[in-house]
Amino acid sequence: MSLRLREEHKVEFEDIDFTEKLAMHGIVHYMQQVAANHAIKLGFSYYKNMEKYKYYWVISRVKFEMYKYPNWQDQMAIETYPGGYDKLFAVRLFDLFAENGEKIGHIIGNYILMDAKTQRPVKIKGIQGPMDVLDFPYEGEKLDKLVLPTKSIKQDIRKARYTEIDVNKHMNNAYYVKWVLDMIDLEDFKHKEIKSLLLNYNTSVTYDTKVKVIMGINAKDELIVYGTSQDDTINYFSAKVVMSPSKRAKLG
């Protein structure tokens, strides 16, 4: 059985932004779909809405790297495959391709398998059963824990609403990405695009939780967006955003 799963997509209207290019929320949508289908295929799809579940997955860190963005109605593909284990993380990798086979993006996802009874992480190394396909050390890029900014630029207050909650009764990971990018001015997206986005999921945001979202610059002059509780005692997420001049050429 192949350890890779490839899915083809036509870039639909709901997955683009005002530039008529595939938006980051569309990429997350494709990523979630192919990851879930792949886990089902390999026999380790664990969700809290199962009748009797022993484990469930949570995503801890993810990095998106985009080299080019397809346009509305372009054909593209996303392919996912196991990357092995890195300490407690099960690493899942994704490659994005244009219709002509050109690689246009890469995603690294660090997932943690949680024991449903103890609410503790489960070690991937040495685990028996279907997940033994993950039992090899990951040798690629490691995703760092982000340091919060030293200089604040602006902030906003967000609340997790019904449409943002997933089967684990937490805010779906796609909406963290939306919250991060909503902090960037619309004007910036007229001339720039996301080159890379590194996101740390630190504490789950649950329904109706008020989150203070702050954008700032760290000591390395990097753009950081993070979400914290109103009293600054809980850090829900943090993200590093790198933007570059946009490439508007149509992909073939």
Query: Is residue 18 in some structural domain?
Result: yes
What local confidence, expressed as pLDDT, does residue 179 receive? 97
Q: What is the mean pLDDT of the chain?
A: 90
Contact 48, 115 (CB under 8 A): no
Name the packing angle between helices 173-181 and 24-42 (round to 10°). Answer: 160
What local confidence, expressed as pLDDT, does residue 249 receive? 43
Query: Is residue 250 in some structural domain?
Result: no
Contact 37, 29 (CB under 8 A): no
Query: Is residue 252 in some structural domain?
Result: no
| Joined tokens for residue 10 | 């036509």
Query: Is residue 251 in some structural domain?
Result: no
As for how many domains the chain has, the answer is: 1
Instruction: Determine the average pLDDT of the residues in 177-181.
Output: 97
Lowest mean per-residue pLDDT among 146-155, 179-188, 200-209: 146-155
Contact 76, 26 (CB under 8 A): no
Query: Is residue 78 in some structural domain?
Result: yes
Query: Is residue 54 in some structural domain?
Result: yes
- Domain holding 128, by residue range, is 5-245
Query: Is residue 87 in some structural domain?
Result: yes
Query: Is residue 173 in some structural domain?
Result: yes
